Each structure stands twice: as C-alpha cells, then as structure tokens.
C-alpha cells in the first residue's frame, strides 16, 4: 500500500509542477497579482472607491468584466460599482456622449482628437475632489482604455496626475494564424491550433475568450484564422458556421475575423471548371460567397490571399495578373465593407532573377491599379523572415497602394520556441529604416501608418506564435513577442526598450533589480541570434525544410533559390551575395541615397555587408579584423552572449518561483548548445573555402563537419506535411 502511494506520488509529482508553472504562464501579461507597494496601493484604493462604468453594450460589459476580475486581485478588495454618474464617483468610465457636462468640458479637446478606437485616461479636479475619467468616442475605446488603466496599475505607475490620450496609428492590427483545419500549424512551435474545429460551433473553449482578452489588451483588432497555404473547405457552410461562432466571441473584444481564400475555391468547392478571375461565373461565385459570409458575420474583415506563390493557385494560372485576382475579390467584398489583403511574397521557379528582386519587379507596375479595399501585404525583408534583413524595397516605392507590414512572430528562422529572442528589437529596426523616398526621414513606419503618402487604410500583420501549449507560445519569453507585436501595431514609433519594460512589469516583477538585467538580456537576445546564426548579412543558410539548424552546405534542392549556397556564395575568394550593379543590382530597387549607401562598402552598415557584397576573406572590417577572423569572432560572440543570458537568469533566481526559473533556465541551456552547433557547423563549412585557421578567441569546434551534416530532423515541428 505504502509502495503504491509512493508510486502514485512519483507519477503525479511532475504534473503538479507542470500545473503550477503553466497556470502562472497561462495568464500572459494579464497577471493581476497584488500591488506590493503600499503607498501606491493606497492611492489605487482611493481611486477605485466608487466606480461608475457604462455597461449597456457587450463590449462595455467586457470592460466591466475585466475590472471585476482585475481590481480585487490587484488591490485585495471587493469593488463597489455605482449605477449613476455622480460628481462623487472617484472613477468614471463612460462614453464621451454619456459624460455629465462638467466632465465633458474637461475632456472635450482630447476626445475630439482621438480616433474611433482611441481613449482618454485623465485625472481631473472637480469641486476640489480629484477623480479619474476613462472615456472614448466608441465602446472599443473604453475597453482599450480599461486595459491600459489596469496595465498602469500592474506596472505600478503613479496615477495622480495621469493624462493619457492615445489612439492607434494603424487601422488593421492583425494576427495571421498559419493554422490548418487538421489543427497542425505551419511554422507553429507552441502545440496545435487553438481552433477546435471539431467541437465548434457548439463548444466555446474558454481559451477563445482569453485569446481575445489578450489581444484586446494590446489593441489587436483582427485575426486571420487559417493558413495562407489555404484549404478551400473553410469557405463551405459547415466551416463558416464554426467561423461564425468564433467571430461572435471575438466581436465583443473588437476583433474582426478574416479568412484565407484559396484562389481555386470556385473549382474545389463550387463545382466550376475554372477559377479565372475574368470569368463571369467565377466572379458571381465570389460575390455569392461574400453574401453568404456576411449573412453570418456582418463585420467579417475580408480575405487574406497567397496566390501564385510556392505552388498556391492564383490568377496567373489563367494568364491573368495579381490586380485581376485581387480586384475580383475586392469587388465581391466591397458592398459589405470587407478588404482583400493580397500577399506580395512571390518568387517564381521560372525566373532566375535574384529572388530578393522579384516581388518588387512584379508589383511595382501595379501601383494605383488595385481597388481601394485592397491592401498588399509585404514581408519585412525581401527574402523570408531571416534573423536580419534589410527592409523590403517595396516599402516607400509604391505610393498609391496601402502596404501592410508582415512580421513573423513565430520564430521559423530564429530557433523556434526554444531560443529566447526578443523580436520587437527586429521589428523596430525595420520600422525605423529610412526609405528616403520623400527625402530623409521617410521611414518604413511612415509608410505603414500611411502618413508618408496619405493612405487612408493601413495595416500591420504578425504571423502568430500562438498554439494550445499551456503557456500559449512555447517559450515564456515568446509571449513578449506577441505582446510587442501588438504594441508596435498600435504605435509603430514605440521603442523596443519600453515595450520590454512594460512586458516584464506586467508578467514578472516591478522590482528594478529584476527589470534592468532582464531587459538588457531581452534587448541583446536578437543580436545574439544574428551573431550565432548569420552574422554580417549572411542569410538563408538553414537546413532544408525545418529551418531550425544550420545547413550552409545544402545545394541539392529543386530550385536554386531554395539552396543556402545560392545565398552565401562562399568560394575560395570570399563570401557574400553581390547585389550591387556588378552583381544582381538589387540595390537599384531602393531610393538613390539608400542604394548608394548599400553599394559602398565604406558606407553600408556592416550588419548588412554580405547581403549586398561578395568580399574577399582578407577584406578588412571596421574593427581591423579580416573578414574571416571577424566573422568567426562574431559567431563566438553570439555564443558568449547566450552564456551571459544564462548568467543573468541565474542571478534572478530570488525573484522567481522555482518553476518560472527552471523552465527558462532549461531552455537557455538548449539555446547555448545550439548556438555552439550553429557556430561550429558554419565555421567548419566556410573554413573549407577560406582555408584559414580559426582566430584566437574562438573555441574549438565541438564536433566534425561530417557530424553536423549528418543530423536530420524528419519530425521537427511546423513543417507542412505536403506542399500541395
């Protein structure tokens, strides 16, 4: 008996620990743990003494719900809501139109300046008494305002003289889920898809609600539920009923649902012979489909489309072009206010032009030809979500077409959900890049928020890193990438430094002794991964299919531009891709100022050097090292940086629960092992060409090149079972 009990205990023990750990992580940045600072807690209690909240609408009710959940946890006290707006109320949360006259007067200017999604949180004095007003033009503004207000408490901000008027700078702030109907997730590293299609529409998983809360708390207002490598079935009535159920949940958090539309759907589910966008019957089919969808989901966002890219069907199958395809769908959605988001991630197996040039070449002539409810979605760089890329040359080049920024939050090329990499640093670098299209200061952020060319419809999309793992994102720190994406989609001018701090405070601790070192660790993590994977502008040297480990030697894939050797071009003379006028001349796709800078080895930032230049192994870097030595030292630096991250995390133990500490400590150890794998595999391989010894300071390789080449990962997560 005793033995049995012991056995049971041993079996259950790990689960107990898992539960504790995941419950903490499940809350994301909406962890409302008690405010420890007693002065602040006293202030907050005063502010929440008597609360009035408008709640005569489902969105407002969600705002009230959140307060009801959060405040007692933060302040350890039950709340009293009053049902009348009175001058005595210490916290008034109401639509502007419902505010009493004297409160309107004090908030008018800010509210008038805000957009329909904006809000105001303001401390004002009325009859000698101070109070806080959270107000907005529309219900969704109130919800956003309440989330911000709670965040301020979570992060221990002084609210006494608070005055925050904030509106999103981008209209469509969207997650793209690459989720398949069988619940696998392409490039997903956090378990299976959240969408339980089998149990929908009748079973509403609590997770859908928490997903919506998390998104609303950072201002995400759109979600494309399905993979861009699309399955037409999602457009059939059986699935639309399920999509409708999700839309009904998300609507109350201000989130619109989009679907990916497979271009050949009229054939696959409509029994038509063609999907030619100029065919009358095809056009009618899409119109009828739009009508059917809007009958179920009146606020349906629209279609996200990957066409004529990596085997997906598209208008070119019928001798038509992207404009024909996009406008056909746009026409169908237009009467209902829906949008088409057409992806520009195209490169052709029949085109031997440098892959980095193809999307620009293809789309530039279409500028001005799309309907006004079409947006073109462009990846941040011209190849494919590498640890570092220069900004995509389409940004700033198309003046009349709204361009949606596509970032990848899921870490396809950045160590999956095993490596700690804080991506807002990458996002910020891209958004801050200067296109020079209208002179100095024409940043990518200004293209995306529409201010450079006065676009009225704007968007930013992030390929989701969310799955059904208990902690949502696989790595606890990957939650910061979801958070940071949302914040930058709201305001592309925020700094990654502030975002990191906000997230740490809301997720872990408000103690400066924790915040500062952990923030530093997060901010260096992006450069670390660049250093140990692909320093100095190297790119796409990943092993086949899974894109996890190194594979700079791969040269046997069907298309030249799928092979790493195509990108690094290492030979006995040197390394790098010449994209200057002596090579592929990709630099001509940038504004003159930018092209000149990229063309000139003296002016180009060294971080992009080998993206644009093929240089001899003895080329001298800014620090005086030869290219070979400098490259090797950067690989080593990446490893050293991970070691430093481990030291930092170890020194934070006292702030963390055991499970919080352990999970990240274990992941960092794997990251270190794999940083060394990257360093050793790449240096041993490139050394065959450079024919030079490793410089002092670079550790001896842990294995032989043959060993690294022999590693295979047929069951790595996130790979598409078949490219159909």
Q: How far is the CB of 583 from ligand GCW (least distance, A)?
A: 24
- 416: contact with ligand GCW by CB under 6 A: no
Strand, helix or coil for residue 660? helix
| Tokens 């531009």, located at residue | 561
Q: Which of residues 335-354 bind ligand GCW (CB under 6 A)?
A: 345
Return d(Cα 714, Cα 724) in angstroms, integer. Answer: 18
Do residues 462 and 471 lie in contact, with contact meaning Cβ atoms separated by under 8 Å?
Answer: no
If the CB atoms of residues 252 and 260 are measured against ligand GCW, the closer one turns out to be 260
310 is catalytic: yes
In the list 229, 442, 563, 599, the residue contacting ligand GCW (rule: CB under 6 A) is: 229
Which runs of consecutive H residues, i.e. helices, occur in 508-608?
Answer: 512-533, 564-568, 592-599
As a whole number of angstroms, the distance between CA 563 and CA 542 comes to 9
Site for ligand GCW contains 405 (CB under 6 A): no
Q: Closest CB to ligand GCW among 406 and 527? A: 406
Q: What is the smallest separation between the CB atom of 558 and ligand GCW, expressed in angstroms?
A: 14
Q: Which is nearer to ligand GCW, 286 or 385 (CB)?
A: 385
Least Å distance, CB 447 to ligand GCW, is: 20
* CA 41 remoteness from chain centre: 34
Q: What is the C-alpha R_g of the chain? A: 26
* DSSP states of 599-614: H-TTTS-GGGHHHH--
**Among residues 52 and 347, whose Cβ is nearest to ligand GCW?**
347
Q: What is the C-alpha separation between 701 and 303, in angstroms, rounded? A: 49
356 neighbors 383 (Cβ within 8 angstroms): yes
Q: Contact between 239 and ligand GCW (CB under 6 A)? A: no
Does 389 sit near ligand GCW (CB under 6 A)?
no
CA-to-CA distance for 544 and 713, rounded, in angstroms? 10
Quick one: which of 62, 137, 169, 187 contacts ligand GCW (CB under 6 A)? 187
**Among residues 224 and 330, whose Cβ is nearest to ligand GCW?**
224
Rounded least distance, CB 228 to ligand GCW, Å: 5
> Of 228, 230, 290, 675, which one interacts with ligand GCW (CB under 6 A)?
228
262 binds ligand GCW per the rule CB under 6 A: no
Q: Which of 64, 306, 334, 355 binds ligand GCW (CB under 6 A)?
A: 306
384 part of the interface to ligand GCW, by CB under 6 A: yes
What is the C-alpha to C-alpha distance for residues 718 and 416, in angstroms, rounded to an integer?
9
Binding to ligand GCW (CB under 6 A) within 123-182 occurs at 178
Compute the least distance from the CB of residue 547 to ligand GCW, in Å.
6
**Are the C-beta atoms of 52 and 84 separated by less than 8 Å?**
yes
Judged by beta carbon, residue 71 or residue 222, the one nearer ligand GCW is: 222
The residue among 304 and 675 lying less far from ligand GCW, judged by its C-beta, is 304
Alpha carbon 668 to its chain centroid, in Å, reads: 22
Out of 310, 324, 367, 625, the active site residue is 310
* Residue 39 falls in the annotated catalytic set: no
| Maximum Cα–Cα distance across the chain | 81
Cα(530)–Cα(390) distance, integer angstroms? 13
Q: How many residues belong to the site for ligand GCW (CB under 6 A)?
A: 10
Query: Shortest gap between Cβ of 310 and ligand GCW (angstroms)?
Result: 6
Residue 110 designated active-site: no
* Smallest separation (angstroms) from ligand GCW to the CB of 128: 59
From 54, 412, 429, 502, the catalytic residue: 412
Report residue 24 as tokens.
């903490």
Whole-angstrom distance, CA of residue 662 vs CA of residue 13? 15
**H/E stretch holding 303:** strand 302-305
Tokens, residue 663: 């999970």
Positions marked catalytic: 310, 384, 412
What is the binding site for ligand GCW (CB under 6 A)? 178, 186-187, 228-229, 306, 310, 345, 384-385
């Amino acid at each position: 008996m005793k033995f049995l009990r012991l056995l049971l205990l041993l079996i259950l023990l790990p689960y107990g620990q898992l539960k504790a750990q995941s419950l903490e992580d499940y809350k994301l940045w909406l962890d409302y743990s008690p405010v420890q600072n007693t002065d602040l807690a006293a202030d907050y209690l005063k502010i929440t003494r008597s609360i009035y909240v408008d709640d005569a609408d489902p969105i407002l009710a969600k705002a009230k719900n959140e307060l009801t959940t959060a405040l007692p946890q933060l302040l350890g006290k039950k709340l009293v809501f009053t049902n009348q707006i009175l001058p005595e109320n210490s916290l008034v949360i109401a639509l502007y139109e419902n505010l009493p006259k004297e409160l309107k007067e004090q908030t008018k200017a800010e509210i008038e300046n805000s957009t329909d999604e904006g809000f105001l949180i303001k401390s004002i004095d009325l009859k000698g008494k101070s109070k806080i007003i959270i107000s907005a033009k529309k219900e969704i503004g109130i919800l956003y305002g309440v989330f911000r207000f709670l965040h301020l408490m979570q992060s221990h901000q002084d609210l006494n003289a608070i005055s925050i008027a904030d509106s999103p700078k981008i209209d469509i702030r969207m997650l793209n889920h690459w989720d398949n109907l069988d619940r696998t997730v392409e490039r997903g590293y956090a378990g299976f898809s959240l969408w339980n299609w089998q149990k929908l529409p009748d079973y509403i998983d609590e997770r859908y609600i928490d997903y919506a809360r998390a998104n609303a708390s950072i201002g995400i207002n759109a979600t494309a539920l399905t993979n861009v490598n699309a399955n037409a079935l999602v457009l059939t009535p059986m699935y639309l009923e399920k999509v409708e159920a999700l839309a009904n949940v998300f609507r109350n958090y201000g989130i619109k649902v989009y679907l990916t539309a497979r271009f050949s759907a009229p054939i696959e589910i409509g029994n038509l012979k063609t999907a030619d966008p100029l065919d009358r019957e095809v056009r009618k089919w899409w119109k009828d489909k739009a009508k059917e969808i809007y009958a179920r989901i009146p606020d349906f966002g629209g279609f996200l489309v990957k066409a004529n890219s990596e085997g997906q069907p598209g208008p070119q199958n019928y001798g038509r072009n992207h404009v024909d395809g996009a406008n056909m769908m746009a026409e169908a959605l237009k009467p209902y206010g829906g949008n088409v988001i057409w992806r520009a991630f195209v490169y052709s197996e029949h085109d031997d032009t440098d892959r980095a040039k193809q999307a620009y070449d293809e789309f530039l002539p279409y500028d001005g030809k799309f309907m006004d409810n079409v947006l073109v979605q462009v990846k941040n760089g011209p190849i494919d979500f590498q640890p570092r890329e220069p900004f995509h040359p389409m940004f700033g080049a198309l003046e009349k077409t709204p361009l949606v920024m596509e970032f990848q939050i899921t870490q396809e090329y950045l160590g999956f959900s095993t490596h700690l990499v804080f991506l807002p640093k990458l996002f910020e670098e891209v958004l801050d890049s200067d296109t020079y299209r209208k002179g100095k200061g024409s940043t990518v952020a200004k293209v995306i928020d529409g201010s450079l060319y006065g676009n009225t419809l704007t968007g930013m999309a992030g390929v989701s890193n969310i799955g059904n793992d208990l902690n949502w994102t696989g790595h606890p720190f990957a939650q910061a990438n979801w958070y940071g994406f949302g914040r930058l989609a709201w305001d592309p001018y925020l700094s990654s430094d502030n975002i990191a701090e906000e997230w740490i405070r809301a997720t872990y601790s408000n103690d400066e002794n924790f915040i500062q070192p952990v923030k530093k660790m997060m901010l260096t993590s992006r450069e670390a991964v660049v250093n140990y994977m692909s320093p100095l502008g190297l790119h796409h040297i990943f092993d086949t299919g899974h894109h996890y480990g190194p594979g700079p030697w791969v040269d046997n894939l069907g298309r030249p531009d799928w092979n790493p050797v195509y990108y690094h071009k290492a030979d006995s003379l040197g390394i790098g891709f010449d994209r200057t006028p002596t090579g592929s001349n990709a630099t001509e796709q940038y504004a003159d100022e930018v092209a000149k800078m990229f063309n000139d080895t003296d002016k180009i930032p060294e971080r992009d050097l080998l993206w644009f230049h093929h240089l001899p192994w003895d080329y001298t870097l800014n620090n005086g090292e030869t290219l070979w030595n400098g490259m090797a030292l950067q690989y080593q630096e990446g490893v050293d940086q991970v070691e430093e991250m481990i030291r930092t995390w170890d020194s934070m133990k006292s702030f963390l629960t055991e499970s919080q500490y352990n999970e990240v400590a274990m992941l960092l150890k794997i990251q270190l092992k794999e940083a060394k794998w990257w360093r050793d595999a790449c240096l041993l391989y490139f050394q065959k060409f450079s024919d030079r010894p490793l410089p002092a300071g670079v550790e001896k390789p842990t294995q032989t090149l043959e060993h690294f080449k022999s590693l295979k990962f047929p069951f790595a997560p996130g790979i598409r079972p078949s490219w159909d």
